[in-house]
Structure 1
Amino acid sequence: MDRFNEMLVFQTVAERGGFAAAARQLGTSGPSVTRAVAALESRLGARLFHRTTRRVQLTDAGERFLQECRRLLADLAEAEAVAAGTHATPRGLVGVTSSQLFGRAHVGPLLCALLRRQPLISVRTLFVDRVVNLYEEHMDIAVRLGPLTESSLRAVPVGRVRRVVCASPAYLDAHGVPASPDDLADHACIQFTGQSPGPEWNFRQGRSVRVQSRLITDSADLAVASAIAGDGCARLLSYQVEPALRSGRLVVLLAGFEPAPLPVHVLHHEGMRVSAKVRAVFDHLVDGLRADQALA
C-alpha cells in the first residue's frame, strides 16, 4: 500500500473516530484499514492512536501527524486538479456551518444566491448553536461569532455584532425604562442561555447585575418572541433582534453600557491553498457578510 493511501486511511480513522467507520467510508475492509495504520506506525516508529475496545484516540504524535497529512493530501488533490484542468472551475460539494438563527437569516440567503451563479457547486449546511469541529463533522467553512480558539484555521473578519438589552414599547410603558444596568434587578427579564448562560448579565467595564428571569430558554426565536409580546427585557445579539428593532416592535435599552461587540469571522481549514469550490464559497460569504448592514 502506497504512502499517500496509508495517510488517507490514517486521516479517515482519525476523523471518523474508529477503524470500522473508516472502512465503511473508504469502501474497504476493517483488516485492511488496521494493516495500513500498523504499517504507517511501523515506518514512522511512533504510535499514532490509543486503542480501546470502544474507540480510538490520537496520541500527541498522531495529532501532529494528522495536521501534516491534511496539508499533504490537500496539496495532492490540488495538484491532480491542476493536471486535470479542473482547478479553475469551482465544482463539487462544500460544507458550511453556522449558528441556527444567523445561518438562516444571513448565511443561507448568500449561499442560495451563490448556487444560482455557480451551477457546478453544491452546498451542505449545518446550522447549530454549538461550535462545530470542521474536521470531525466534514465541514469546509464556518461562520463564527465571538472570540476564536482554533489556531489551525484561517479566519477572515467580516463584521461584528452587539450584545443588546431590549424590550417592547408596551412593556416599557407599563414598567418604565431602566436607566442603568442596576435597574434591571427590578424588571422581569428573559434569559437566552446562548448569550447569557447564567443570571449574571455583564456590561461595560466589568459591571454586572443579577437578573430575575421569568423565562430561561436556549431558543433565540422564543426569547425574541417573548420580548415582543411584552414579557420582559431580553439580552440578545443585535442580528437576532434586527428585524424587530427595524419595525419598532423592540427598543434597545442601556446602549451606553453595552460590552464590547463580538467579532464575526469566516473560517476554513485548507490553509492558504484552497480548492476552487471552497475558495468560491468562502470569498462569496466574506464579500456578502462584509456588505451586511446588520454586521456593521
Structure 2
Amino acid sequence: MDRFDAMAVLLAVVDKGGFSAAGRALRMPVTTVSRRITDLEDHLGAKLFVRTTRQVSLTEAGVAYVAAARRILGDVEEAEKNAAGEYAEPKGELVITAPIFFGRRHVMPVVEEFLQLHPRITVRLVLLDRNIPLVEDHIDMAVRIGPLPDSSMIATRIGQLRTVVCASPKFLGVHGVPSTPEMLRNLPCITFNAPFSSPRWRFHTSDQGLVEVPVDTRLSVSLAEAALDAAIHDIGVARLLQYQVAEAVQAGHLTPILESWEIPPTPVHLVHAGRGRLPLKMRLFLDLAAPKLRTILEGIQSGMPVP
C-alpha cells in the first residue's frame, strides 16, 4: 500500500464530503476509493469513518489521522518545491483561478505580461464562476470577489466593486424607471445562478438595513456575460457587478437605476494558502498582479462614480 496515495484519497473523501465526490475529483472509481480507505484502515487497525447510507463522518481516530495526513502531505509538497528550486528561481507551473468575466477581461492581460517576464514559468488559468478549494484542488492563487470566510488563507485586498442594477435606455423608456426596489416585482428581470428558484435581490435601506426583494424573472442564464448582453438588448433589468457593466454604462448602452438603494460594495482579494513561505513564482505574480489589478479596479470606480 502506498501510504502517501492513501492519505491523498482520505483527504479527498473528507474535503469533498463523500466517496462518490472524491472519486469524481480524483477520476477514480468509487470502488477503488472505498478499497483504498479500507486498506488504510486495515493497516492502521482503526476505523477512520462512520458510514451510513446518507453520509460519512470521521471517527475520533479519523480526525487525528486526517490532521496528521494534511501536515505530512504539506511537508512533502514543501520539500518537493524546495528540492526543485522553486524558492530560489522563478520556474514551474503556477495555477490561478478567477471568475470567468473578470479573468478574461482583467486577469488574462496580467498573466500574458507575467509569462513574457518569466520564460521558465507556465500558467494554468482556471476560469470559473464559483469558488473552489485552493489546497484540495492544487490552486496557487485565486481572485475572490465577495466576503471571505474565516480561514487559514492569506488575502491581499485589491479593491471593491459596486453591485449595479441596470437596464437599457430603450427598456426604461418603455417600462419606466423604478423608484423603489419593490417596483421590480412588476418588471421583467434577468437573473443568473438561480434557475430553479424564485430569485431575490438584496438592497440596502436607511431604516431597515439589508432587505431582499423577489423579482420577476423573464430570462435566467448561467453566465454574467449572457445577462449583460440580454440587458443591452432590452430584455429586462439586470443586477451585475460594476466591472461587468462599466463599459456598457460608459457607452450609454445601460443605465444604472436604484443607485441610492445599492448594497455596500463587495471586496476583491488575491488569495493564497497560508502555509509555509511562498515559492518565488507566486511572490513574483503577487507583486505584479496586485498593483495592476488594484489600478484596474480604481479605474472602474472612477469611470462609474459612486452616487
TM-score calculated relative to the size of structure 2: 0.76
2:16 match: none
TM-score calculated relative to the size of structure 1: 0.79
Alpha-carbon spacing, 1:182–1:38, altered in 2? closer, same or farther (3 Å): closer
Q: CA RMSD in A?
A: 3.6
2:94 match: 94
After TM superposition, the structure 1 stretch with the greater mean CA deviation from structure 2, 190-199 or 210-219, is: 190-199
Give the C-alpha shift of residue 189 in structure 1: 1.3
Match of 2:138, SS state, is: coil
Spell out the pairing of 1:210-229 with structure 2 (5 A cutoff): 210-229=214-233
Partner AA of 2:139 in structure 1: M
Partner AA of 1:238 in structure 2: Q
Partner AA of 2:125 in structure 1: T
Give the C-alpha shift of residue 100 in structure 1: 1.3
| Distance in 2, Cα, partners of 1:174 & 1:215 | 18
Alpha-carbon spacing, 1:190–1:110, altered in 2? closer, same or farther (3 Å): same
Spell out the pairing of 1:191-210 with structure 2 (5 A cutoff): 191-193=191-193, 198-204=198-204, 205-210=209-214
1:294 match: 300
Alpha-carbon spacing, 1:248–1:11, altered in 2? closer, same or farther (3 Å): farther
Cα deviations across residues 149-180 of structure 1 (Å, max 9, x unaligned)?
Answer: 26122111111121110001111112211112
1:257 match: 261
What are the ranges of 5 or more consecutive residues in structure 1 without an aligned counterpart?
A: none
The sequence identity of aligned pairs, in percent, is 35
- State the number of aligned residues: 278
Q: Do 2:87 and 2:278's aligned partners in 1 also have CA atoms closer than 8 Å?
A: no
Say yes or no: does 1:143 pair with 2:143.
yes
Say yes or no: does 1:62 pair with 2:85.
no
Give the C-alpha shift of residue 241 in structure 1: 1.2
Q: Do 1:159 and 1:295's aligned partners in 2 also have CA atoms closer than 8 Å?
A: no
| Distance in 1, Cα, partners of 2:25 & 2:215 | 49
After TM superposition, the structure 1 stretch with the greater mean CA deviation from structure 2, 105-114 or 11-20, is: 11-20
- Aligned match for 1:236, one of 219, 236, 240: 240
1:154 match: 154
| Distance in 2, Cα, partners of 1:51 & 1:274 | 38
| Distance in 1, Cα, partners of 2:125 & 2:199 | 32
| Distance in 1, Cα, partners of 2:186 & 2:200 | 14
Cα deviations across residues 215-268 of structure 1 (Å, max 9, x unaligned)?
Answer: 122221111111001111111111111221121111111111101111111111
Spell out the pairing of 1:14-25 with structure 2 (5 A cutoff): 14=10
Match of 2:171, SS state, is: helix
